[in-house]
A and B are shown apart, each in its own frame.
Chain A
């Protein structure tokens, strides 16, 4: 019997496989296809202080080995989440994190404060990296002072697990990682989507209503692996790696690069049972390599 549990800041997860925000709804969307309580942690859809309609259609473009999205944080706001969604997800037997986004520091603080009292929400993922909204989002995550400011402010009011999701659309991601670590983040997740673009040559128009969008899927995996490796070397807090994970081998690669856990995103759209397969695959790998704990993989890359 191998041990799949991992430590993540203040928490222990039953296994290192989580779902990425914006790709797994609130978990319940997947419950016909699989037992979602098997998942190590579910990060629910990006939540903001007030309801957001998101960007106009079209919001998605299929690209080679990936996709661009420009959803723009469509959600019904934190109060709706607390009143209507939390009651239906709180009994899922896994750790549920809420991804929190905002246009101002005050938005982040107020949203985090309201989530602090939810007994079955052990943590939040602070999204300072959404590329698809005009204000806030990525703007906070692309400079050290603003990233530090928002993490510092939320840390003051939010007592539970504080994971901070970083943007890859920066010159040196390690600097941002160090800045948020210094302000009390418990863990760091990366990467959010890479800013990209698709053009319809026949129409001579951009495919997305917003012109640019966030690239995800296997196309971004090498970039994500490199950034996880860089960040894991730079910081002492746990790193959660994501970007194009399609199978257990991909997940193991992220852990070898230094991730304590992984998030699976776009792959859920193609195989809604992929998280279960990745968990099983990691277990098989550990047995095959005669390792007793998945923690033995973290940062085990030999360079």
Chain B
């Protein structure tokens, strides 16, 4: 897919809680085609202590409204600055970058999307596309406590939402891999994005049950389009770039 460098305009900036913001970008021109799993490299202006762009997952694309949603967690100075964007601000992005999730083998297959923390971001866009293509998809979203569970209503539009919290403040208490739905239903494909320990646990579960499983990785990057070779992960094919060979990998390819 052709990549672009664009100046987009902030249409909305919703603070979801003190850690997360949803920044909605638009443009006078139609946004380029983007696929679930892909990401943008976002330039952080007026941020003297950061230097590189920030790779941010594509959270959702609303073609009719010409909107690109970025769900941003305030991790450091760069992401904090992005969360402070005002309506009308211009934000420079490189997109769409990376590969995308692949569709399950059969339309009848029950599909589960497992997310944790800010890792839920690409799953909303992927869920919307699975739903639009007639797949039966469910979401299993985990967080430390209730305030870490985000966009639950948005997810509910595309499938059943199950959740876990470590402190039991919402949904079932525990980790996503301990949720009862994994035993009560027969999923044929699992997609996951979130903290690495969570994805490894999901991958181990899927591997044990021989379920098709893709995970979306997040490594630190300099360029985001395969030039610097900084973001590699260890695979059965050697070191591969998360930015171009990923971020989505089938678990059978990863040396986990």
Contacts and interface: CB of A to CB of B under 8 A. Distances in A.
Interface residues of A, number: 34
B4 A32 contact: yes
A56 B234 contact: yes
Interface string A46-69: 000000011011111111111101
A66 B222 contact: no
Given A53-B238, A69-B222, A272 B5 contact: yes
A57 B225 contact: no
Contacts of A266: 222
Interface stretch (A20-28, A79-87, A108-116, A177-185): A20-28
Contact of B228 (A58, A60, A61): A60
Nearest to A25: B227
Interface string B220-251: 11111111111111100011000000000000
Contact of B223 (A66, A217, A269): A269
A217 B51 contact: yes
A69 B222 CA distance: 9
Nearest to A265: B228
B239 A29 contact: no
Interface residues of B, number: 29
A201 interface: no
A74 interface: yes
B3 interface: yes
B94 interface: yes
Contact of A29 (B4, B43, B226): B226
A32 B3 contact: yes
A1 interface: no
Contact of A22 (B94, B225, B228): B228
B230 A59 contact: yes
Contacts of A217: 51
Interface of A: 22-25, 29-30, 32-33, 45, 53-54, 56-67, 69, 71, 74, 217, 266, 268-273
11 contacts: A29-B225, A32-B2, A33-B3, A57-B234, A59-B229, A74-B239, A270-B52, A270-B53, A272-B5, A272-B223, A272-B225
Given A30-B227, A32-B2, 8 more contacts: A24-B227, A33-B3, A56-B234, A60-B231, A62-B220, A270-B51, A270-B52, A271-B5
